[in-house]
Amino acid sequence: MATPLTADKLVQALLAEGLTVVEHPGWRTNSRNHKGAWGPVYGVMIHHTVTSGTASSVNLCFNGHSALPGPLCHGVIAKDGTVHLVGNGRANHAGSGDGDVLRAVMAERSLPPDNQADTDGNRAFYGFEAVNLGDGKDPWPAAQLLAIERAAAAVCRAHGWGKRSVIGHLEWQPGKVDPRGFTMNSMRARIGARLDVDPVPTKPAAPKPKPPAAKPPAKPKPTPQRYEPFPGASFFKAGRNSPVVTAMGKRLVAEGCGRYAVGPGPRWSEADRNSYAAWQRKCGYTGDAADGVPGKASWDRLQVPNV
């Protein structure tokens, strides 16, 4: 049993697991909480969207449709592995399912057959929708499967759960087939390896005899620090996604110029512009010269470590 993560903590958990996260406008207040509580939460449920295209799938999961209002999940996992956050709170993704399955998830043991629909799942599970037609033919790119693994592991790690806290919709509600195209047992194995919850026990190795004393090796000469060359002002534009942006953001934070609510991250954003403008002002620039777009002089002075 756990209290759901706050929006900020969910973003932090996903970023810490190495995911690229896009916060859909309005996702932090998009919920069905007026229909019932969200939480305590016990696990993560994986779905497929039965749609194609990232933008249309994200909009559908944010807004819902005439028969089922949104949000339809908490995050949409695109083919390229990007996680688009669309809901924060109770979401219409799980519906009613088998109470015996929920009890198995709570105990982190093998799942029984899902043969009844007597328990509210929207209250008890995080939901991730992966963009896929669900026809058994639409491919699952390696980047998308890795993102499913990482997203589920991120939530489990944040709550201290193991791999058996992750289930598919088809294991919860009778008649459901999602996700179709890979098995949940194989996905749980990947998540377990990532969480390192199933280490193979080994016998402790016998202590090795101490070698004869030797002269300490000469200290290696320190490797000179290398810095990122200025990539040009045109590099810093909306949509740019690069580890250089992350490295720059970390230097700005170290210089006391960070203006980030969450981050810094690899995608160039308005928070990056505001942070760099603070650095320019610290360097003595004023007016239009402190517009937040890096120039060579201020960039060289910032000394962004080579990535």
Q: Would you say 305 and 226 are in contact if contact means Cβ atoms under 8 Å apart?
A: yes
Question: What pLDDT sits at residue 261?
Answer: 86
Q: Tell me the mean pLDDT per 10 residues along the chain, length 307.
A: 94 97 97 95 98 98 96 98 98 97 96 96 98 96 98 97 97 96 97 72 52 72 81 88 92 91 88 93 91 92 89
Please state whether 115 falls in left (phi above 0), alpha (psi between -120 and 50) or beta.
Answer: alpha
**Residue reference for tokens 């790690």:** 157
Give the Å distances, CA to CA, from 35 to 48, 119, 122, 167. 24, 15, 10, 24
Q: Of 180, 183, 97, nearest to 138 (Cα)? A: 180
One-character DSSP codes across 13-52: HHHHTT--EEE-TTGGG---GGGS---SB-EEEEEE-S--
Question: What pLDDT sits at residue 200?
Answer: 37
Question: What pLDDT sits at residue 214?
Answer: 66
List the beta bridge partners of residue 77.
83, 130
Question: What pLDDT sits at residue 207?
Answer: 61
Other residues' Cβ atoms within 10 Å of the Cβ of residue 170: 18
Give the relative orientation of helices 270-282 and 243-254 as an angle to the nearest 10 degrees: 40
